[in-house]
A = this chain, B = another copy of it.
């Protein structure tokens, strides 16, 4: 019987991987809060109890951290959506599952990765963009069949009977729906906010609407979906 390898943590994950994950998690939080450019490598190091030069032991440079944050978000989004879809049976349930899950990865506490993707996309170098786009396409593809079915059933978009849901239409529909949801990143305020100094850092115009994510998802689904033409 062999001795177990030394530095291993709870789930048999090398400690080095844990540190890397901690850097990704804290970076996401900081990027979401202050933006990529405004976040210092020293901020990141400090958040995980390192000194300023040490993050570069785990990442080649600051931009690689940004890339890792975005990848993490898309992976989580994909996994959660697949799981949610597996629980859904009706068409409406599938749509709601996708919407609710997307709201989750966008607004759940500790899930700032996708918001960073949306906010700081410009800061990602072109080479990295191409890699992220691949993972993002995989996520977006999860929406396509459901939206396609909704449009063909006349439950989404112009219910004109002329051309039956061209692929192009479905794509635009997805962009508009996901756009509406993504943009909540700028105005939706979490119900349960931590006890933190409340500076006016919300988006323009919007007094916090009292809605949890379930309510927001319901309203969103109801807003976009036509009621069953019974």
Contact = CB atoms under 8 A, between A and B. Distances in A.
Interface of A: 34-35, 37-38, 117-119, 121-123, 126, 129-130, 132-133, 136-137, 140, 157-160, 168, 171-173, 175-184, 186-187, 199-201, 203-206, 209, 219-220, 222-227
B159 A121 contact: no
A223 B183 contact: no
Contacts of A180: 176-177, 179-180, 183
Contact of A209 (B158, B172, B220, B224): B172
A201 B126 CA distance: 7
A206 B175 contact: yes
Copies in the complex: 2
Contacts of A123: 35, 38
A41 to B, nearest CB: 15
Query: Which 4 pairs show the lowest CB-CB distances between chains A and B?
Result: A179-B183, A37-B37, A158-B222, A180-B180
A117 to B, nearest CB: 8
Nearest to A136: B204
A191 B161 CA distance: 29
Contacts of A137: 204-205
22 contacts: A35-B37, A35-B123, A38-B123, A121-B204, A122-B201, A126-B200, A136-B204, A136-B205, A140-B205, A157-B222, A160-B222, A160-B227, A172-B209, A172-B223, A173-B223, A175-B183, A176-B220, A176-B224, A177-B180, A179-B180, A179-B181, A180-B180
Nearest to A156: B223
A122 B175 contact: no
Given A173-B223, A179-B180, 9 more contacts: A35-B122, A37-B37, A126-B199, A129-B201, A158-B225, A175-B184, A175-B187, A176-B223, A179-B182
A137 B203 CA distance: 11
Nearest to A225: B158
A204 B133 contact: yes
A205 to B, nearest CB: 5
